């Protein structure tokens, strides 16, 4: 006594439609007996005929019923060990000073550039009085004009640095 199409498909690891197509194409002649609307399939004969009469190059293995092979336990353990080794290496490199956290670097960079920017923005205010002393008596309007000119040039230089920095961060 044989099995049904669905049982054979389950045994074979394919869809029942693949078994139906094999029967319709005549690839399983000796192994299949039709009983009314149902089929009776001899598993051992069907497996032999399947192997002999199936052209692997014409198979569509990407169908919706295709089974996805999961990795073996050994393969899964090997993958886990590989990632564990990578994490251990990263921890070692971080503790030995070869690596650092990106967030910490960005924060330190931001703080240092903020200090430099503030120092540069204070240059015109500090220098305008010294320039007045070097040049001699200057009016308040001239002092204001010098301050505006120096402030404009410092801001221009800072904007140019910021534009160049936007491409690298």
Q: Give the span between the Cα atoms of 50 and 12, in whole angstroms.
A: 10
Q: Give the span between the Cα atoms of 68 and 119, in whole angstroms.
A: 63
Q: Give the count of beta carbons closer than 10 Å to the beta carbon of residue 155.
A: 13
- What is the per-residue pLDDT for 58? 67
Helices 140-166 & 102-135 angle (0-180, nearest 10): 160
The average pLDDT across 141-166 equals 89
83: pLDDT strictly greater than 90: yes
Q: Give the span between the Cα atoms of 150 and 131, in whole angstroms.
A: 11
What value does the mean pLDDT of the chain take?
85
Domain residue limits, the chain: 5-58, 70-99, 102-166
pTM over 0.85: no
Do residues 41 and 20 make contact, with C-beta atoms less than 8 angstroms apart? no
Q: Give the span between the Cα atoms of 19 and 10, in whole angstroms.
A: 10
3-state secondary structure of 161: helix
- What is the per-residue pLDDT for 60? 60
More confident residue, 154 or 1: 154
* Res. 167 pLDDT band, cuts 50 70 90: low
């Amino acid at each position: 006594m044989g099995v049904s199409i669905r049982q054979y498909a389950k045994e074979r690891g394919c869809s029942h439609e693949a078994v139906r197509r094999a029967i319709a194409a005549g690839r399983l002649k000796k192994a299949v007996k039709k009983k009314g609307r149902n089929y009776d399939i001899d598993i051992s004969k069907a497996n032999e005929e399947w192997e002999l009469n199936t052209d692997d190059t014409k198979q569509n293995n990407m169908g919706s019923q295709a089974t996805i092979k999961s990795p073996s336990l050994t393969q899964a353990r090997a993958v886990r060990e590989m990632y564990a080794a990578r994490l251990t290496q990263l921890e070692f490199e971080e503790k030995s000073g070869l690596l650092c956290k990106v967030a910490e670097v960005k924060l330190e960079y931001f703080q240092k550039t903020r200090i430099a920017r503030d120092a540069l923005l204070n240059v015109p205010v500090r220098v305008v009085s010294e320039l007045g002393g070097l040049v001699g008596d200057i009016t308040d309007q001239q002092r204001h004009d010098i301050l505006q000119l120096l402030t404009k040039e410092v801001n221009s230089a800072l904007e140019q640095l910021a534009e160049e920095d936007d491409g690298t961060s």
